[in-house]
Structure 1
Amino acid sequence: MKILNIILTVGILISCHQKNNTKEILKSEFQSIINSNHVEGSILIYDAQKDVFYSNNFDWAKTGRLPASTYKIPHSIIALETKVVENDSTLFKWNGEKRAYKIWEQDLMLRDAFQYSCVPCYQEIANKIGEKRMNEYLKKLQFGEMNVTSKNLDVFWLEGTSKINQFQQIDFLKRLVNSELKISKRTEEILKRISFIEDNKKYKLYGKTGLSIRNGNYNGWFVGYVETKNNTYFFATNIEPNENTNKELFPKLRKELTLKALEFIK
């Protein structure tokens, strides 16, 4: 028994030591990208092979914010695991009512609802999942600090006190990619398909954007990962406009800034 305890203790110490050895490197290039695009915020990138985090602003990256549509990643997982949604071809019928965006005014399959960030589609999913199961799965998945009640079930990721920071976003994505979420392989494969963005000679890109607007203030996300031949890089970008930002172009900047930053570490 003594020997077993010693082995367990050593294992724990090694695990803690490895975690504490994760480096955080400040990248002035990331700040230049942020400044030149007239926004505020942080780009956080994790090199899985080197076990290194890169950012221009680690304080910003450690501050929790509403997940907005980045929540569609765990939301889709919960929908599939509870069988509320059968697969990525499950159809969400448009009821004919006017919606915030024209692209939402049509019947959409899950993969399109995910890519187009169809809020009404995912509100329908949330109501079918219910408060109890949503909280049970969120506890299991450990996605930030979500505050889910019967009153905010279909909006908690868009307004209120729910929050997640950039480090937590990357931690969640790492556990998803490394099959550590204790979900079915089928669900993992579906998530990979619906979050796929592009494949070029350099990498395969997977991710999800998010945008919350509170009292006229914008906050934008782009989270995901890129797979290269020899490595995987995880990213979580969170930005806000300043007085010089063109708000019409702001949604595009989340992805553009992230891809520019990745060029400085690959």
Structure 2
Amino acid sequence: MNRHWQWWAFLWLLLGSWPAMAAGAGEREDWAELFRQAGVSGTLAVVDHRSAGPQTWYHNQARAGRRYSPASTFKIPHTLFALDAGLVASEFDVLPWDGEDRGMETWNRNQTLRSAMTHSVVWVYEGFADVLGRDTERYYLNLVDYGNANPDGTTPAFWIDGELAVSADEQLDFLQRLYRNRLPFLERHQRLVRDLMISAAGPEWRLRSKTGWDGERGWWVGWIEWPDGPVFFALHIDMPNGLADLPKRRQLVREALSTLSAWPEGVE
């Protein structure tokens, strides 16, 4: 085989694979209508791995690149930090309540990693942050390349009202690395965190996700596992109506993923 033929064969293979690698990236006008109907501003980024090459879809791609407080979605990497540092060994370890009434029944009790993730118990993670300290938090944030990797702030919960900020695109990158065990932590710790994230499941699918709210804006990030591949999502919206806007996070993701046949039928 001469070198000239080899070069053209290589170029043909490269160009032939390009459409699969770049397929489907772009804005969804039908999703823009969903946001208009919901009466909120925000962004939704989705990476669909069910085809030969991943397809990436957006509502408001420009905003998907902007960084905002991660709020309680930070509990995903924060749990990995706590496990790696030995602050907790398993999901069965009891994290004792200090007796302070925080106005929520689900918070006013002893916790485990699972209950703390499920009920988004801030005081558990404030405790982790207090023991780790800002220098160690910064080390871990840089280790996993999370947002601006800045844990500075005047309150213990720097992921809510401090300097830490992450974009929807960066959320998706982090989640895909977690899915593939490609974060710099023990595989069993990554598996445990994925297990803690399960929020719903059916015979052929499993939803792993985490919500977040900083008082002004809200997140819902995660992925749905299907037999032919996962579909990752990162939603971030303005929430001017506070608690009244909380259900819109799930509503928007459900409606948008339904347009891709990526949301389980009959699941609200």
Same fold? TM cut 0.5: yes
**Do the aligned residues in 2 keep the contact of 1:123 with 1:154 (CA within 8 Å)?**
yes
Residue of structure 2 in register with 1:40 after alignment: 41
Code of the aligned partner of 1:181: L
Cα 1:172/1:230, change in 2 over 3 Å: same
CA deviation after TM superposition for structure 1 residue 23, in Å: 4.9
**Do the aligned residues in 1 keep the contact of 2:21 with 2:53 (CA within 8 Å)?**
no
Residue of structure 2 in register with 1:3 after alignment: none
Residue of structure 1 in register with 2:232 after alignment: 234
Code of the aligned partner of 2:223: Y
2:205 is the alignment partner of 1:203: yes
Code of the aligned partner of 1:249: A
Q: Which runs of 4+ in 1 moved over 4 A?
A: 17-20
Code of the aligned partner of 1:103: T
Give the Cα–Cα distance (whole angstroms) in 1 for the partners of residues 135 and 163 of structure 2.
18
When structure 1 is superposed on structure 2, of 117-126 and 140-149 the one drifting more is 140-149
- 1:79 counterpart (78, 82, 89): 82
Residue of structure 2 in register with 1:124 after alignment: 127
**Do the aligned residues in 1 keep the contact of 2:142 with 2:149 (CA within 8 Å)?**
no
- 1:193 counterpart (167, 183, 195): 195
TM-score (norm 1): 0.85
Residue of structure 1 in register with 2:25 after alignment: 24
**Do the aligned residues in 2 keep the contact of 1:145 with 1:164 (CA within 8 Å)?**
yes
Residue of structure 1 in register with 2:167 after alignment: 165
Residue of structure 2 in register with 1:255 after alignment: 250
**Do the aligned residues in 2 keep the contact of 1:77 with 1:187 (CA within 8 Å)?**
yes
Give the Cα–Cα distance (whole angstroms) in 2 for the partners of residues 59 and 26 of structure 1.
10
Between the aligned residues of both structures, percent identity stands at: 26
Structure 2 counterparts to residues 51-130 of structure 1, below 5 A: 51-130=54-133
Cα 1:32/1:172, change in 2 over 3 Å: same
Alignment RMSD (CA, Å): 2.3
SS of residue matched to 2:221: strand
Structure 2: gaps (5+ residues): 1-13, 262-268
Code of the aligned partner of 1:237: L
Give the Cα–Cα distance (whole angstroms) in 1 for the partners of residues 232 and 200 of structure 2.
15
Structure 2 counterparts to residues 132-151 of structure 1, below 5 A: 132-149=135-152
Give the Cα–Cα distance (whole angstroms) in 1 for the partners of residues 257 and 128 of structure 2.
34
Q: How many residues align?
A: 245
Cα 1:19/1:90, change in 2 over 3 Å: farther
Larger Rg: 2
Q: What are the superposed Cα offsets for residues 215-243 of structure 1, whole Å, 9 maximum, x if unpaired?
A: xxx1000000110110111100001135x
TM-score (norm 2): 0.84
- 2:219 counterpart (211, 218, 221): 221
CA deviation after TM superposition for structure 1 residue 54, in Å: 0.8
2:267 is the alignment partner of 1:265: no
**Do the aligned residues in 1 keep the contact of 2:151 with 2:163 (CA within 8 Å)?**
no
Code of the aligned partner of 2:136: R
SS of residue matched to 1:95: coil
Residue of structure 1 in register with 2:4 after alignment: none
